Amino acid sequence: MIVVADSSPLIALSRVGKLHLLRDIFGTLLIPDAVWLEVADSDPGRPGTGELRAASWIERRSIADTALANLLRRDLGAGESEAIVLARETSAGVLLMDERLGRSAATRLGIPVTGLIGILLEARRLGLVSDPAALALALRTTAGFWISDDLMDLLSGN
């Protein structure tokens, strides 16, 4: 299955030392140039930069449909726009994205989407994470990732 990622799951999981979960769950990830620029070519001290550069299982790809990317940029950032276009061009089985507007745009284009909560649930299902609620709490406190109390309860099994 082809999997395309936006920057937010890469950065958030890097901040808590769990970027490898994406490899363990999905194998190879594709990211568009704009996501690479946001994460790997940004400030060397930014979480995710070193990990992404060293991850041989993450492949950078250029998009062809720049017109669609430019249209999407009216409401989205460059990374989200290119991730959606790349997912569409590669017929990705899933797009990893957390931004609400981006997820909505991808869904309207028929692209399956999951975010960090879906990733944590899949990691639990595969036995890669024994306590997804603890990891979600780390994402909240260390990575500054917003997770609702209802989703925290879901991850706790409540």
Verdict on whether the full-model pTM lies above 0.85? yes
Residue 48 has pLDDT above 80, yes or no: no
pLDDT at 156 over 90: no
The alpha carbon torsion through 101, 102, 108, 111 (nearest 10 deg) reads: -150
CA separation for the pair 22, 110 (Å, rounded): 22
| Residue 43, token pair as written in the block | 């400030």
pLDDT in the model for residue 47: 63
Tell me the mean pLDDT in the region 68-96: 97
